[in-house]
A and B are shown apart, each in its own frame.
Chain A
């Protein structure tokens, strides 16, 4: 069971907007630690999508955005495209364990 909780799956039609939640606690997200998001296409290494809650690395389309509030964070994807079909993971730091933590991952299906 992951320290950060994500929905196992989400889906949306092309062009639609979807959000993926990442729920933590007062020892990680709620303590103010940054949340990062990764996209993992089948058979490939994860790719950093959002860092430090809201920032996009260069080359990541602005269709992807991140937000954080309280003990949760969210990844939003607008203008959904077939190529967005992938697994998405959130990641943060937990002060109780003094270690990094990942969410359980969310599989995005583009209908």
Chain B
């Protein structure tokens, strides 16, 4: 059974750096074709694709946020970490991590709401 869970602060101040951790079980991020991605959703708005890291450490980023995002993995701990620098109120959203195969996301975490406010 594949599960993922996001953890991190529920609130950050503008200009701060957000660090989110995705802890997963039921699969290995060293298995071919497997990836873990991050997707966010501002309140009442659409899903936004953020970043994806593959089993071979290949990394992909949203072009509009690339300069602010870093995704890393710790295969031994079954964790993927996303950092977002220079947080802004517009970054207020529910952040999801998800397991990826064949380019789609077949298992999602419950999401964590991050509010950016001073």
Mark A residues whose CB is within 8 Å of B: 2, 33-34, 36, 38, 40, 45-48, 51-52, 57, 89, 91-93, 97-105
Of B24-32, B74-82, B107-115, the one with at least 4 CB within 8 A of chain A:
B107-115
- Chain B interface residue count, Cβ-Cβ cutoff 8 angstroms: 21
Q: Is the interface of A mostly helix, strand, loop or mixed?
A: strand
Chain B residues with CB under 8 Å of A105's CB are 46-47
B106 adjacent to A51 (CB under 8 Å): yes
Instruction: Kindly report which residue of chain A lies nearest to residue B102, judged by CB atoms.
Output: A52
B46 adjacent to A34 (CB under 8 Å): no
Q: Is the interface of B mostly helix, strand, loop or mixed?
A: strand
| Measured CA separation A105–B62 after assembly (Å) | 18
Given contacts A2-B46, A99-B62, 7 further A-B contacts (CB under 8 A): A45-B108, A45-B110, A47-B108, A52-B102, A89-B46, A91-B105, A102-B46
B48 adjacent to A48 (CB under 8 Å): no
Interface residues of B in 79-108 (CB under 8 A from A): 96, 102-106, 108
Mark B residues whose CB is within 8 Å of A: 37, 39, 46-49, 52, 60-63, 96, 102-106, 108-111
| Measured CA separation A38–B37 after assembly (Å) | 15
Cβ of B108 to closest chain A Cβ, rounded Å: 4
A34 adjacent to B103 (CB under 8 Å): yes
| Measured CA separation A33–B102 after assembly (Å) | 10
A99 adjacent to B106 (CB under 8 Å): no
